[in-house]
Amino acid sequence: MENMYIKADRDYMTTILDKVADGKYLIPEFQRDFIWDKRQMIDLFDSIVKGFPIGSIILWSPQEDNFDSFDVIGGVKIKKSSLPHYYILDGRQRLTTLISVLSEKGENKDFIYVDLKDFSILGRGKNNPILLRLSDAFDSYAIVDYIERIKNLGLDESEVKEYAEKAKRLNRILISYQIGYIVVNGGGIDDAVEIFSRLNSQGTSISPDFMIQALTFNSKTHFKFGDAIKDIQEELDPYNFSSLKRDVILKCVGNYTQKAFIDARTEDIILLDNLPDVMNEVKRSVVCAVKFLYEECRVVDVKLLPYTYQLIMLALFFKENKTVGYRGDELRKWFYYTSYTNYFTNTSLARIRYDIYEFERFSSGLNEEPINYGEVQIERAWNTPVSLGAVNTCCFVLSQLSLRKISRNMSLIPYAIPKTGNKRLFNTIWCVNKSQLKLLKSLFLGNKECSDEELQPFALDNEMLNLYQKGKIDDFATKRMVKLVVIEKQFIKEVLKTKQIIPYRIDMVDLQAK
pLDDT in tens, 346-362: 788 899 999 999 999 99
Q: Cβ(248)–Cβ(308) under 8 Å? A: yes
Q: Which one, of 110, 125, 124, 8, lies nearest residue 59 by Cα? A: 8
Q: Are strands 57-61 and 178-185 parallel, antiparallel or unpaired?
A: parallel
Is residue 218 assigned to a domain?
A: no
d(CA 232, CA 440): 35
Least confident of 141-145, 293-297, 403-407: 403-407
Is residue 141 assigned to a domain?
A: yes
Is residue 458 assigned to a domain?
A: yes
74 phi/psi in degrees, rounded to 5: 60, 30
Q: What is the pLDDT of residue 498?
A: 62
d(CA 166, CA 116): 6
Same domain, 300 and 420: no
pTM (2 d.p.): 0.71
Same domain, 306 and 423: no
Q: Cβ(24)–Cβ(207) under 8 Å? A: no
Instruction: Give the number of other CB atoms < 10 A from CB of residue 256.
Output: 21
Is residue 55 assigned to a domain?
A: yes
Instruction: Give the number of other CB atoms < 10 A from CB of residue 4.
Output: 17
The residue from 301, 328, 363 where one domain ends is: 363
Same domain, 414 and 460: yes
The residue from 172, 206, 240 where one domain ends is: 206
Same domain, 337 and 478: no
Kindly state the percentage of the chain with pLDDT values over 70. 89
The residue from 153, 172, 206 where one domain ends is: 206
pLDDT in tens, 128-163: 888 899 999 999 889 988 888 888 888 888 888 999
Q: Cβ(251)–Cβ(261) under 8 Å? A: yes
Same domain, 166 and 245: no
Same domain, 92 and 52: yes
DSSP 3-state assignment of 244? coil
Q: How far from the centroid of its chain's Cα atoms is residue 71's Cα?
A: 28
Band (376; pLDDT cuts 50, 70, 90): confident
Is residue 170 assigned to a domain?
A: yes
Instruction: Give the number of other CB atoms < 10 A from CB of residue 168.
Output: 16
Same domain, 176 and 318: no
Is residue 217 assigned to a domain?
A: no
Question: Considering its fold, how many domains does the chain have in total?
Answer: 3
Averaged pLDDT for residues 254-261: 93
Cα angle value 318/272/268 (rounded, 5°): 95
Q: What average pLDDT does the structure give for the chain?
A: 86
Q: Which one, of 66, 81, 111, lies nearest residue 20 by Cα? A: 81
Instruction: Give the number of other CB atoms < 10 A from CB of residue 465.
Output: 19
442 pLDDT above the threshold of 90: yes
Q: Cβ(57)–Cβ(91) under 8 Å? A: yes
Same domain, 29 and 64: yes
Same domain, 231 and 320: yes
Domain residue limits at 123: 1-206
Is residue 272 assigned to a domain?
A: yes
Is residue 392 assigned to a domain?
A: yes
Same domain, 353 and 474: no
Same domain, 46 and 182: yes
287 pLDDT above the threshold of 90: yes
Same domain, 85 and 3: yes
